[in-house]
Amino acid sequence: MPPAKIYSSWNQRKSDATEQIEPYRKYFFICEGSNTEVWYFKQLIDNRKKLKIKSNIDIRLLEKTGKDKTNSHPKRLIAFAEQLKNDPAIAFDKERDKMVIVFDADIFEGKETDYKNLLFDGEKNNNLLGVTNPSFELFLLLHYNNAFNVYIHPNEKKILENDKDKNRRYIHVLFSDVSGMNPKKNKCVGELAEKIDIAIAEEQFINEDIHKCQGNVTCNLAKIINDIRSDSL
């Protein structure tokens, strides 16, 4: 078995007689987490037509398997993504395809040099880095109407501090209170992908520049998804 399973809805056929074609460009998402992010991006992929992603563009999720399933530190995740580019089973075209590496930046708070080095390593081979500070729950929260004004701006200091409350970080608790879901255990968080237009609009109120992430509530995932949707090749 390859170190990652591919999830894609590309060119799904009604019958074996339908001719298969390859997309011009593929965006491969690989994520730090193995539950919440996976549920979300699978739903995003399933909704590609509703999201108006162009017919020659494909989004594929690379799910980590075996010993690589716990491969979550951003530095190791970037190295793993580079390894996968050379795996024939992945069929990554280095001239056209893009690897989108999704991770949280909270562990780099106060470690500016380490974070800058990580971005350099991640971006030097034409990868896209999807960064959330403090964590992916922030991105999920953006899928609710007026999320910035109602939930994020009034709690910005607490979100950045992200202290623990009974083994749950503040942003986790905040998202759970708003959504009524535990993002680590409830697959229904994936359904938020249907509200990506709200997230795209709300994300513009916070910092989307991952190079200015330190000390700022940050997310650029909605921007990346919108750019993929706008990719005209």
Q: How confident is the model at residue 215 (pLDDT cuts 50, 70, 90)?
A: very high
Q: Which tens digit of pLDDT belongs to each residue from 85-115? A: 999 999 999 999 999 999 999 999 889 999 9
Q: Is 96 left (phi over 0), alpha (psi -120 to 50) or beta?
A: alpha
Q: Which tens digit of pLDDT belongs to each residue from 45-58? A: 998 888 888 888 99
Asked whether residue 139 is assigned to any structural domain, the reply reads: yes
Cα dihedral 79, 129, 29, 26 sign: negative
Asked whether residue 190 is assigned to any structural domain, the reply reads: yes
The answer to whether the CB of 169 falls within 8 A of the CB of 163 is yes
The answer to whether the CB of 77 falls within 8 A of the CB of 101 is yes
Asked whether residue 152 is assigned to any structural domain, the reply reads: yes
Position 20 scores a pLDDT of 53
Place of tokens 């880095």: 129
* pLDDT higher than 60, residue 159: yes
Q: Which domain holds residue 96?
A: 23-230
Asked whether residue 194 is assigned to any structural domain, the reply reads: yes
Give me the number of domains the chain comprises: 1
Q: What is the mean pLDDT of residues 56-72?
A: 83
**Phi and psi angles of residue 158, each rounded to the nearest 5 degrees, phi first:** -70, -35
146 CB-side CA count, 13 A: 3
Asked whether residue 102 is assigned to any structural domain, the reply reads: yes
Nearest partner of 42 among 69, 7, 2, judged by Cα? 7
pLDDT mean across residues, the chain: 90
* pLDDT higher than 80, residue 213: yes
Asked whether residue 95 is assigned to any structural domain, the reply reads: yes
Asked whether residue 18 is assigned to any structural domain, the reply reads: no
50/79: higher pLDDT = 79
| Amino acid code (one letter) for 107 | I
Asked whether residue 6 is assigned to any structural domain, the reply reads: no
What order of strands is seen across the sheet that includes strand 4-7?
4-7, 57-64, 25-31, 98-104, 128-133, 218-219
